Amino acid sequence: MVQELHDLLGADSVLSGVAIERVYDCDAYTVDRSKPACVVLPSTTEDVAKVVKWCNQNDVPFTARGAGTGLSGGSMPAMGGVVIATKRMTEILEIDVENRCLLAQSGAVNARLSDSVKQYGLHFAPDPSSQSVSTLGGNIAENAGGPHTLKYGVTVQHILGLTLVAPDGEIVKLGGRVAGGPGYDLLALFVGSEGTLGLVTEAWIKLTPLPTVIRTILISFPTVRAATQTVADIIATGTIPAALEMMDKGILNALSAAFGLTYPEGTEALLLIECDGDDATTVDEEIETVRKICESNGSSSIATAATDAERAKLWKARKSGVGAMGRLAPSVVTHDGVIPRSKLPEMLDHVYAVAAKHQIGVANLFHAGDGNLHPCFYFDDRDPKQVESVVAAGEAIIRRCVDLGGSVTGEHGIGIEKSDLIGLMFDEPSLDLQRRVRDAFNSKALCNPCKILPSQKGCTEHKRRWRGTAW
């Protein structure tokens, strides 16, 4: 296999060996792992098409991978085979300032896209917390969100056109630089399909004007319930902040340990709230409304950013949260579930109760404005019992999300992690329709196999092998 791929792409574009297997056997979801046979590093769409055609000719599974920051095992090579990594596909190919769009290869890093057009007063709005490393292709595959999606929407709303290599190796272009259009919304089908309908190699993305007025406040609460009630109250008033993020004591402890950040005594939860726009009066009114709601719920201190530097400082807590948790345990699993926002107070109570029952540590930092929870369990993945507890606790939380009218995933995707849980949301006829849509484009099931849908042929047996094999 390796020699044939060498012949296709050149020797320096194919990686294999024990170290490679170890590096590429999972993404940021580390509970399940599976080794690739080899990893290829294409530079162009044509390179990707060559590899995919070769895989088809030889019945070898293939899985795309960006930066490996995915949190549901989406880029884990479940059936082995070839990992197609986009690390060399990082070019920004065209910036069209007048039409507010940009063409980039799928391996381009999210933050770089915004950095490249900041001088024109524009940005790429989706901002997953991994944005300093995660790639455009990964964001598209998972339909990534981020703190500011509350106001600006998720990735699908910012993708205008795609070049992709279909599962049979054909190069396909969909959409262009103009949004919308008649016919079935194929872009929306491919965005968020977790790399199971093809490999995105290039994309035209929409650029959004940067707001000229931004107000950011960090608010401390004496109880978690006061903070969650504040979120529910803000949403109920009809105010739509640009971001409405929550962090609990667990995260604050990790941040203190990692970065020496300090918080007022008695703080059990923080809310980071940002309002933006182009009219200072309107934005100020919004932030004032928010401030009053916080005070009515007993907020104990408020920090306001007066400059960009101060704003960056307030965001540091939020953006560094998961990284800081590395101080608490060898492994972290960041869960992802969605509930109606009015149910946040009771849901958080449930999260703490579940963690206590399973005797594992939990910290919460999440997109409260969307009702998008991220309970982070920290544990030692060398202990099979702890791994089992984490999986069981995650399932208990996700089940409650669905019971409350929410979703099993808001932005991380189903991947491997939740392929057994998607059935909580969809009955068999609905899943069967999804299966048939997948098969219409990925009939040989070679393209990122075993993802999204439950009980796939040949995947169950492998699944037993994946789980709990860490190190």
**Interacting positions 257-286 with other proteins (CB under 8 A):** none
C-alpha–C-alpha distance, residues 60 and 2, integer Å: 12
Binding other proteins by CB under 8 A: which of 220, 372, 386, 442?
372
Q: Identify the residue among 280, 312, 356, 433 touching other proteins (CB under 8 A).
A: 433
The stretch among 59-67, 120-128, 186-194, 261-269 that binds other proteins (CB under 8 A) is: 186-194
Judged by beta carbon, residue 36 or residue 406, the one nearer other proteins is 406
| 371 belongs to the binding site for other proteins (CB under 8 A) | yes
Residues 210-249 that bind other proteins (CB under 8 A): 232, 235-236, 238-240
Q: Residue from 341, 350, 374, 400 that binds other proteins (CB under 8 A)?
A: 341
Pick the stretch among 6-14, 41-49, 242-250, 367-375 that binds other proteins (CB under 8 A).
367-375
* Residues numbered 87-116 forming contacts with other proteins, rule: CB under 8 A: 98-100
Q: Which is nearer to other proteins, 65 or 206 (CB)?
A: 206
Query: Is 67 in contact with 28 (CB distance < 8 Å)?
Result: no
SS3 204: strand
The yes or no reply on residue 430 touching other proteins (CB under 8 A) is: yes
**Three-class secondary structure of residue 471 per DSSP:** coil
Written as one string, the DSSP assignment of 411-461 is SS--TTTTTTTGGGTS-HHHHHHHHHHHHHH-TT--BSTT-SSSS-TTHHH
Question: Binding residue for other proteins (CB under 8 A) from 438, 447, 448, 459?
Answer: 438
Least separation in angstroms between CB 38 and other proteins: 29
Distance CA(376)–CA(322), nearest Å, equals: 8
Residues from 410 through 429 that contact other proteins (CB under 8 A): 410-414, 418, 422, 425-427, 429
Contact between 210 and 163 under an 8 Å Cβ cutoff? The reply is no
Half-sphere exposure of 195 (CA within 13 A, CB side): 39
Closest alpha carbon to 450 in 415, 412, 426: 415
Q: Which of 57, 212, 262, 434 binds other proteins (CB under 8 A)?
A: 434
Q: Rank residues 13 and 229 by Cβ distance to other proteins and give the closer one.
A: 229
- Cα(64)–Cα(42) distance, integer angstroms: 11
Q: Which of residues 451-470 bind other proteins (CB under 8 A)?
A: 452-453
Least Cα distance to 162 among 121, 120, 206, 224 occurs for 206
Among candidate residues 393, 383, 355, the one with its CA nearest the CA of residue 468: 383
Give the nearer residue to other proteins in terms of CB position, either 74 or 77: 74
Subset of 24-63 contacting other proteins (CB under 8 A): none
Between 366 and 377, name the residue whose CB sits nearer to other proteins.
366
SS3 317: helix
Q: What is the DSSP letter of 32?
A: B
Q: Are 232 and 142 in contact (CB under 8 A)?
A: no
Q: Cβ closer to other proteins: 225 or 311? A: 225
Nearer to other proteins, 312 or 433 (CB): 433
- 179 near other proteins, judged by CB under 8 A: yes
Q: In what order do the strands lie in the sheet with 82-85?
A: 14-15, 38-40, 82-85, 62-65
Rounded Cα distance between 446 and 37, Å, is 14
Residues 121-160 that bind other proteins (CB under 8 A): 142-143, 145, 149, 153-154, 156-157
Closest approach of other proteins to the CB of residue 372, in Å: 5
Judged by CB, which is closer to other proteins: 33, or 341? 341
Binding-site size for other proteins (CB under 8 A) equals 72
